[in-house]
Structure 1
């Protein structure tokens, strides 16, 4: 349930400090029932900011979070998974709702048999249970944090925004406290009929990005004159997208370490595309022809695995070929093309993916 959240980076030191002072965030916290949007480009740091906001939330409220993940398990990207997760987090604080749901479970198990074999919860009934809990089941204010709404798909996103728009209006009229924070990319989902609050992350994170870049350059002992030029060019080109910086900055640092002239590094930075998708293509295009089959194999294992693979599992997978010359797994692991240990495999992952894959 926490897989996606655990894979999201925590805010870097001294970053996101602007959020508690942002007018929209302050107004959202002070409003008894309202909706806050964290919007931004892909890779701008929306998930990290939402995770930071969740940790900063005053503890006098009941809180729950959900992180949609289009590349994850079915329950990570569907409304059913969302309802199950939020109920799981809130039901311990809503005893009447919990008792009612437990009774339904006992009755159905007795009549139909084992859950997940003979029957299962439907999306409709969990939606109904959550609606009741949010409006009537708790004696404290409730705040929900929902990340990457766009990764749920347009239909689910529209339904959820409509649902919570209705619930917030009703909570206001009944004197209840219900607030929702959604993060999503810039695309119109649905127009709300009441005022909500919005934070556009790339309009706010320039100080965070500058601090991150300078800290990384300083930690790698890049001379101040070079560091200032690199930082300025990288920050201008990134246009507020943290992921762009995270991919390009290590390459610039490596170039400095190998003695590449600063003019050549800056020329290469200027030539890089600003859009993440185009940057990914440009990075992969740099892989030499002789390394591409192994890079492709690595990325296929990462992308098409049913669940995230450990370094050891990926090392084993990379040792096996579709048409192996060796006849046993032991022979594959002992072949000259295999990787000796997990430490070397981590380096290989970074090298073959050119930084697009990372070990956590």
Structure 2
């Protein structure tokens, strides 16, 4: 569930500093000081913003800002009634509708994350949240039994556990909670459902919640009534956008050379800022386009024409980029996008190298042969270039799991660099029926994304170091096998292609069985 948080763009250096200054909010009549809310008794603060305005980046910035916790101490009294020092519990959850797991976009995922953080930081509340299990645990002499392990994970049971904690703190306040919940509009259910849950969580005097979403009517009605307890991101980021554009352009050597020849190029910074309307994603795409022009030795007039012809609507831009792909590459384009849309798990970049092979049967026919570090680096560089040529920056290879023990392995790069959409709006655009029909036409009638994914995973396993470090439970090869299992479990593979999939299953099972993954191999070989 950390994938979403990890992939949210980190704030550009020097941006969002306005959050510290109450006077900054005067630029947006519908916004109230965030730091004043932190010290107030009001439960909920709403961060709203247009599509691509940087809401999630701001929420990540706030979660990592030490000053937030310092200000919250003014809200948390120094001691409770018994003279004990009150504890501040801080937790966050980033909804992700594009997430491969239902826990990334559901109430259950949110509640499990919040409950985990509460109990991790205040383990003395475990007996309060789960009194029956705790009683069983203590009655058995502090031994975990089958009964004490039974912790309900349904939404109603999770809500009950949190309510048990809230009820307890009414008479014995020992802590206060601050939750940051990003992307209410990415919740898989109805807006009213998640609004009710936020209201329930915010009903305790021990809780403060900062939520973010697009300004949908339902959220406006629920959270928009108090102008002093909300902010509109696009109204406050004009200076941030100007700073980002200036820094990004001026650190480019080619732009610096152009500036020495024609200083009027710096006027583009202000022009982009004026046209942005607070949409950071649009700015990022425009700047990338201009930098491409600068690399091609475009004149200032050329760059201005680029800017003038750049669509102001994001979907128009995505469509323009898609149809600008060289017809020679369009089959690859469609297949790369279909694989990314279809995969249950985010796939490593190496998998895309196998998706791109002309003869998919070669994966089955070839023996297992570990790639050298040199070959891995060469082929990954090739795939980055192919993705850029075929997908126009709409797909990106990004680093994941760098804090896992397996990331210290010599070939960890072939697992940790994974492919995903540059922004969630791209995924939404590509899922439209018209684009799906277009991809079916471009990719060819024989292409099946689910099967291609399974073949690619087999290919990467064969190219991986098959030893105990890589194949350990939770290791990179084991995660690939689980990804394969998840893909076959979708039930989307046509009946006619299942014999071929069975061959893939058989090969993977035999490859991993000798390396401590016997249980996974048996699941695969038994058809589970």
Native 8 Å contact 1:339 1:345 kept in 2: no
1:220 aligns with 2:252: yes
Alpha-carbon contact 1:233-1:266 (below 8 Å) kept? no
Higher Rg: 2
In structure 2, the CA distance between the partners of 1:178 and 1:262, relative to structure 1 (3 Å rule), is same
- Report the CA distance between 1:248 and its aligned residue: 2.1
**Alignment counterpart, residue 58 of structure 1, candidates 69, 78, 84:** 69
Q: Is the 8 A contact 1:214 1:227 kept in 2?
A: no
Shift of 1:94: 3.6
1:211 maps to which residue?
243
Structure 1's unaligned 5+ residue stretches are: none
CA distance in 1 between counterparts of 2:367 and 2:392 reads: 29
What does residue 328 of structure 1 align with? Answer: 365
Tell me the distance in 2 between the aligned counterparts of 1:301 and 1:220: 34
In structure 2, the CA distance between the partners of 1:77 and 1:327, relative to structure 1 (3 Å rule), is closer
1:153-173 CA distances to partner (integer Å, 9 max, x unpaired)?
Answer: 452x323323333553x43xx
Instruction: Give the conservation status (yes or no) of the 8 Å contact 2:133–2:148.
Output: no
1:122 & 1:153 partners in 2: Cα distance? 16
1:150 to 2:180 alignment: no
Greater shift, 299-308 or 74-83, is seen at 299-308
Match of 1:163 among 173, 178, 197: 197
Query: Contact 2:128/2:168 (CA < 8 Å) preserved in 1?
Result: no
The 5-angstrom pairing of residues 10-29 of structure 1 reads 10-22=10-22, 23-29=32-38
Task: Quote the Cα distance in structure 2 between the aligned partners of 1:330 and 1:351.
Answer: 31
Q: How far does the alpha carbon of each residue in 1:184-229 deviate from its partner, in whole angstroms, 9 at most, with x for none?
A: 0121225349746111001001111111111111111313325423
Q: CA deviation at 1:178?
A: 1.4
1:250 is displaced (CA, Å) by 1.5
Q: Which residue of 1 aligns with 2:230?
A: 198
Shift in alpha-carbon separation, 1:97–1:233, aligned structure 2, 3 A: same
Runs of 4+ in 1 over 4 A off after TM superposition: 100-115, 324-327
Q: Among residues 167, 174, 181, which one is paired with 1:139 in the alignment?
A: 174
Residue 305 of structure 1: aligned partner: 343
CA contact (8 A) 1:97 1:129 kept: no
Give the match for residue 177 of structure 1.
Answer: 206
**Residue among 324, 334, 341 paired with 1:286:** 324
Q: Is the 8 A contact 1:66 1:146 kept in 2?
A: yes
Mapped to 2, the partners of 1:150 and 1:31 lie a distance apart of 26
Higher RCO structure, 1 or 2 (CA under 8 Å, sep 6+): 1
Shift of 1:310: 1.8
Cα distance between partner residues in 2 of 1:101 and 1:139: 14
Q: Could you tell me how far apart the structure 2 residues matched to 1:321 and 1:238 are?
A: 45
Hey, what's the Cα distance between the residues in 2 that align with 1:292 and 1:167?
A: 48
Q: Which moved more, 1:15-24 or 1:224-233?
A: 224-233
Relative to 1, partners in 2 of residues 1:280 and 1:32: Cα closer, same or farther, differing over 3 Å? same
Structure 1 residue 268: Cα displacement: 2.6
Alpha-carbon distance in 1 for matches of 2:167, 2:44: 15
Distance in 2 (alpha carbons) for counterparts of 1:128 and 1:240: 41
The TM-score, its normalising length taken from structure 2, stands at 0.60
Q: Secondary structure at the residue paired with 1:65?
A: strand
Gaps of at least 5 residues in structure 2 are 23-31, 74-87, 138-143, 399-528
SS at match of 2:356: helix
- CA contact 1:146–1:180 (8 Å) conserved in 2: yes
Instruction: Select the residue among 93, 98, 112 that pairs with 1:71.
Output: 98
For the pair 1:251 / 2:289, whether they are aligned, the reply is: yes
Aligned twin of 2:160: 128
Paired with 1:25 and 1:241, the residues of 2 have a C-alpha distance of 21
Say whether the 8 Å CA contact 1:75–1:82 is kept in structure 2: yes
CA shift for structure 1 position 339: 9.9
- Further displaced range: 48-57 or 258-267: 258-267
Using the alignment, how far apart are the partners of 1:135 and 1:253 within structure 2?
57
The answer to whether the Cα contact below 8 Å between 2:93 and 2:182 also exists between their aligned partners in 1 is yes
Counterpart in 2 of 1:36? 45
Q: CA deviation at 1:129?
A: 1.4
Query: Could you say if the C-alpha distance between residues 76 and 133 of structure 1 is closer, same or farther in structure 2, counting changes exceeding 3 Å?
Result: same
The structure 2 residue matched to 1:354, chosen from 381, 385, 392, is: 392
Deviations 1:292-340 (A, max 9, x none): 1111111122222111112222223333656x58863579x99xxx995
* Structure-1 residue corresponding to 2:57: 48
Aligned length: 347
3-state SS, counterpart of residue 319 of structure 1: coil
Q: How does 1:64-143 map to 2 (within 5 A)?
A: 64-72=91-99, 73-101=101-129, 104=132, 121-134=153-166, 136-137=168-169, 139-143=174-178
Contact 1:147 1:182 in 2 (8 A): yes
